Amino acid sequence: MKLYVLHENPEWYAPLAGAFDRAGLPHEQWLLGEAAFDLAEEPPAGVYWSRMSASSHTRGHPFAKDQTRGVLAWLESRGRTVVNGRRVLDLEVSKVEQLAALAAAGFDVPRTIAVAGSGELAAAARKLPVPFISKHNQGGKGLGVRKFDSHRDFDAYLAGPDYESPADGITLLQEFLVAAQPRITRVEVVGGEYIYAITADTARGGFQLCPADACAIGTTGPQESLFAVRTGFSHPVIGRYIDFADRHGIGIAGFEFIETADGRLVTYDINTTTNYNAEIEAAAPRSALAAVTGYLGRLLAAERAQG
């Protein structure tokens, strides 16, 4: 019996495969960019972990998201144990779904207007004061995230060559959160446990803050990392993230928040396909990758015990 990892980017597999090998967990990746499955068949016994990413379309896999929806529905209909299953994919690929669920659970979220198509964008933006942010509903790695200091600048962007249309046609217009310090925090949760929090330096890093080693931007020399372990972070929001994850069937996720200059703690992004940064892993009090391996290993053992 194996662990099956569903995703579309083979570059992300090596660190995971290494950790599974070290833990003695049999594993296989299932690449979903172009893959077939037969609904009439029984899926192999095992534990499935979906890592389908919101940015899969940017790697030449425009159908991976929808194929994964089908695969997850099939696996779940056959009673398979799925980590970050069908519901979680909906959250991963839609910031609107994330924000709606977070707000319903009582989290402070940024005021957001979702606009389908581009015809209504200019008018909708005028409902927000400046500055405001635009971003893609199906995001990840900072897709389409831009700050506008005037509505005219936004009009010019919409009419100009830099305009990027979102994969699902939906653009979010969002309140700009003024951070007390130029950083965001990401809280990593695995299998109902808090693992660690990291900060990302937004003064240097801008809006593209993917901590994965695979996302490292090529530089000409050694550069101080944008990411740091947020040591000693202890806050009631951690317990609330764990409860939220539990209620939505999220096994593995990173929750991002900004602490604003006026004292709010605003949650604005949930990442269910985090790639852990090797430097952070080495510096943190415990390894998130080891926590993932332990969690999946326990699920696999439970599956084996059931026969």
Ligand X SMILES: Nc1ncnc2c1ncn2[C@@H]1O[C@H](COP(=O)(O)OP(=O)(O)O)[C@@H](O)[C@H]1O
Contact residues for ligand X (CB under 6 A)? 110, 133, 135, 139-143, 145, 174-177, 184, 202, 207, 209, 256, 268-269
Contacts of 131 (CB under 8 A, 6+ apart): 147, 148, 149, 176
Nearer CB in complex with ligand X: 174/275: 174
> Minimal CA–CA distance to 187: which of 288, 290, 93, 262?
288
Q: In the bound complex, what is the minimum distance in angstroms from residue 248's beta carbon to Mg ion?
A: 18
Closer residue to ligand X in complex, CB, 94/293: 94
Q: Which is nearer to Mg ion, 90 or 256 (CB)?
A: 256
Query: For residue 149, which phi and psi values (nearest 5 degrees)?
Result: -95, -10
Whether the CA torsion 229, 243, 135, 148 is positive or negative: it is negative
Looking at the Cβ atoms of 54 and 83, the one nearer to ligand X is 54
For Mg ion, which residue of 8, 188, 269, 281 counts as binding (CB under 5 A)? 269
Place of tokens 């594993």: 27
Q: Closest separation between CB of residue 60 and ligand X, Å?
A: 18
> How far apart are CB 49 and ligand X at their closest, in Å?
20
Shortest gap between Cβ of 143 and ligand X (angstroms)?
Answer: 5
Neighbours of 22 (CB within 10 A): 11
User: CB under 5 to 8 A by kind: which of Mg ion, ligand X, none does 43 bind?
Assistant: none
Q: Which CB sits closer to ligand X, 85 or 110?
A: 110
Please provide the DSSP assignment of 81-103 as one string: EEES-HHHHHHHT-HHHHHHHHH
Q: Which helix (H) or strand (E) is 16 found in, with range?
A: helix 13-22
β-partners of residue 197 are 187
Residues of span 200-259 touching Mg ion by CB under 5 A = 256
Alpha-carbon gap, residue 134 to 137, rounded angstroms: 9
Give the nearest residue (CB) to Mg ion: 269
Residue 294, contacted partner among Mg ion, ligand X, none, CB below 5-8 A by kind: none
To Mg ion, the closest distance from the beta carbon of 269 in angstroms equals: 4
> Which positions lie near Mg ion, rule CB under 5 A?
256, 269
